[in-house]
Chain A
Amino acid sequence: MAVSTTLTAPSAQPVSSNSPQITATELDASCRWPLLALFGSAVLWLFLGVVLGFINTMKFHVPGFLAECPCFTYGRVHAAQSSALLYGFGLQASLGIGLWLLCRLGKAKLVGAVTILIGTLFWNAAVTLGVCCILGGEASGYDNLQMPGYMGPVLLWSYLMIAVCGILTYHRREERESYPSQWFVIAGLFWFAWIFSVASMVLFCPPTARGVVQASVAWWYSHNLTNIVLGFSGLASIFYFIPKILGRPLHSSYLAGLAFWTLALFGSWGGIPMGAPMPSWIPAMAALGTIFTIIPLIAVAINFCHTTCGQLKSLDKDVTLQFSYIALLFWFISSAQQIVSAFPAVGALTTFTWFTVAQKNLFLFGFFTMASFGAMYYILPRLLVIEPCPKLAKANFWLMLLGVLISYLGLGVGGANQGILLMDPANKFTDVMRATMMPVRVSSLGDLMIIGGILCFLLNFFGMFARRCCACCKAKKEACK
């Protein structure tokens, strides 16, 4: 790689040399309240999402658990959980991290803090209403787009309120050269607005699409929402924090660019299961796109191998670094699994089994949630000007890591076993499902640990917030005296 690495890692010093009046503290102060609102509600939604997930896991131990109440049937809770995790937590966390990165890297103060606060308020109101509607039986029936169609305009409008402020912040940047993280963030902002409006138009605005076109659109949307929108956000924070905390420049911004553009091009094709009842070129294109994501995978791998080589010793120094490393690792595993499953020989075995669920959970909890936690452990102390409790942070890290691993291995092994057993028509379906129940039940132990980890983060976050409020009150009282 002969490319010179001119882009320095984002420096930790007071931000700018050519505009000395703006300091990092001022930048952080400009985005304090909007980001606290976004992160606070995101973490609460995350907790609610995993608790809902645990209710569903319990049904694999006791099928009759909460069966009397229509709101808590497996399907409704499943839909509510995915909405809480993706819209409540995922998008809000990605917006928060994205806005902060745009401020920091562009050396510009956040534009439109009040607009963002109002947008956040409406977004949370819409997601709350949407999740309640789902539990009440109003789910739309489309995977990962389960909130009823009439919530669409509110969601889109409040998202745009926040996203436009992000784009304006980027536009007003002092530092004209863009760092890879900024591309990822900007791409994510555009991407969600685009896919959400297309999917809502096609699926909910009459005349709606007919037949399996709906399925194609819904799967395309769902794949783009997780792999591109959330994926880009996670990668943005990894691309920023790992070089920054190590104090080394990113190995090659060419490779980062290659990864970015190939991921944008090929990563957005996918999500259609093999053998879906539609013209076979559609699943084939999806599989092809997924297989081509091997290019960004390799590009990111080379880039980070060179960036971090010999620096693994410093792993236990910083909690953000730990989270970011593990998130990157899980991104590799999850993406590699997705690529392998796109080959027909493997796909025939794994489609419709727990194996794909394991991959999706790894992406969401192992990669995205870990990367977001890492970013928040860096950003929150700067917003609140108070340090997090290191013990809780450590507990958070280990519980999350072990929980994700146990859950992933349980579902992965169970899913592979399920696929192999189902290939033999002599095995009865119920027998196969019973055989896969044990690993699935083991995975609920992992889910419990993930809940514990998230609870640690929640306590840490609100503890920091409370301590900050107390400190402010004291300062005010003393000032009055």
Chain B
Amino acid sequence: MLCLLQGEEGGLQVKYGPFLFLGLLCCMAASSLTFVLAPQMQIGGLEQTNSVADLPVMYPSQPAGVTHQGAEVYRANNCAACHTLQIRPRNLGPDLQRGLGFRYSVARDYIFDKPVMLGLQRVGPDLSNVGARMNPSTILLHLYNPRATVDHSIMPPYPFLFEKRKIGRVASPDALVLPATLPPLEKGYEIVPRKEALSLAYYLTSLRQSSYLFEAPPPQKAKPVATTDTNAPAATTNSPAK
């Protein structure tokens, strides 16, 4: 290509616009074939699969409506600016050693995600398996005031996902149980999560990449406890464990 563009006087000149255009077209084609078309051809058509032999349990399960709403809240507030949703293999980062997941993440884990928000920075911890670590009430309290659940957390609070209201005849069953470390509320008031907070908590509890797959087999020395836990039918992972 270089000799094509050599000018008369020895300098490298593009005398003819078309050469420049053709060269650029080749470069653009090479990069978009590699990172757009080839991935689409290889993994664009991934489907659910049987995680447990001979059982009609498919992984990943179709997300429930409320989970989808929660994912929308996650997207709208761009939680991916601080949290990743991907566990790296053992040799490419200490994620598994830190106990962030049962196994590394694979493409099949995300086939129902729209948009896929893998994230590029961890200001907060990875959330791929947050459903296995936290229950909905802890998540809600964490969203209301992160320092109520994790000492010295640097996460900002999300008070607009909650409503402070007067207790009616009966206290709301969803109202947060504030720990003693927080300043107490005025008497007769309660903090109730809004719809967005509830669906976000549902979404987060649904995050659990626990099924072992052909492309992500269990580690060689799997602990028996982990095995029984992670072989649980994937369908149950959508409903938060209350």
Chain A residues with CB under 8 Å of chain B are 3-7, 59-60, 63-65, 67-70, 73-76, 78-79, 137-143, 146, 170-171, 176-178, 182-183, 186-187, 190-191, 194-195, 198, 202-203, 208-217, 219-220, 224, 253-254, 256-258, 261, 264-265, 268-269, 272-279, 282, 285-286, 289, 344, 347-348, 351-354, 356-357, 422-425, 429-431, 433-434, 437
Contact = CB atoms under 8 A, between A and B. Distances in A.
Nearest to B88: A275
A212 B118 contact: yes
Nearest to B160: A70
B143 to A, nearest CB: 11
Contact of B32 (A171, A178, A194, A258): A194
Interface of B: 1-2, 5, 7, 9-15, 17, 20-21, 23-24, 27-28, 30-32, 34-36, 38-40, 42-46, 75-82, 84, 86-89, 91-94, 97-99, 104-125, 146-147, 150-160
A282 B34 CA distance: 8
A212 B150 CA distance: 31
Contacts of B119: 352
Nearest to A255: B12
B120 A78 contact: no
A270 to B, nearest CB: 9
A274 B89 CA distance: 9
A211 B159 contact: no
Contacts of B2: 254, 257-258, 261
Contacts of B78: 73-76, 78-79, 139, 141, 146
Contacts of A170: 17
Contacts of B23: 261, 264
Given A7-B13, A277-B107, A422-B98, 16 more contacts: A3-B11, A6-B7, A75-B78, A139-B75, A142-B115, A194-B28, A198-B32, A211-B43, A213-B39, A214-B113, A265-B30, A273-B120, A274-B92, A274-B93, A278-B39, A356-B121
A165 to B, nearest CB: 15
A63 B123 CA distance: 13
A352 B99 contact: no
A326 to B, nearest CB: 27
A50 to B, nearest CB: 17
A264 to B, nearest CB: 4
Contact of B159 (A68, A171, A433): A68
Contacts, number: 263
A11 B233 CA distance: 73
Contacts of B147: 63
B92 A277 contact: no
A178 B20 contact: yes
Contacts of B89: 275
Contacts of A6: 7, 9-11
A63 to B, nearest CB: 5
Contact of B80 (A75, A278, A289, A348): A75
24 contacts: A63-B157, A138-B76, A139-B78, A141-B75, A141-B78, A141-B80, A177-B13, A178-B14, A190-B21, A212-B39, A217-B35, A254-B12, A264-B23, A268-B30, A276-B86, A279-B107, A282-B35, A344-B92, A352-B120, A357-B121, A425-B98, A430-B152, A430-B154, A434-B154
A69 to B, nearest CB: 7
Contact of A67 (B35, B75, B87, B158): B158
Contacts of B150: 430
Contacts of A264: 23-24, 27
Contacts of A60: 154
A310 to B, nearest CB: 23
Nearest to B84: A352
A441 B108 CA distance: 39
B115 A211 contact: no
B89 to A, nearest CB: 6
A286 to B, nearest CB: 7
A348 B36 contact: no
Given A210-B111, A434-B154, A275 B160 contact: no
Contacts of A265: 27, 30-31
Contact of B79 (A3, A75, A279, A356): A75
B115 A282 contact: no
A257 B104 CA distance: 42
Nearest to B2: A257
The 4 A-B residue pairs whose C-beta atoms are closest, nearest first, are A75-B78, A275-B88, A275-B92, A137-B76
Contacts of A277: 86-87, 104-107, 109-110, 118
A289 to B, nearest CB: 8
Contacts of A141: 75, 78, 80, 115-117
Which of B93, B151, B160 has most chain A Cβ within 10 Å?
B93
A190 B11 contact: no
Contacts of B155: 63
A203 B21 CA distance: 26
B116 A214 contact: yes
B46 A211 contact: yes
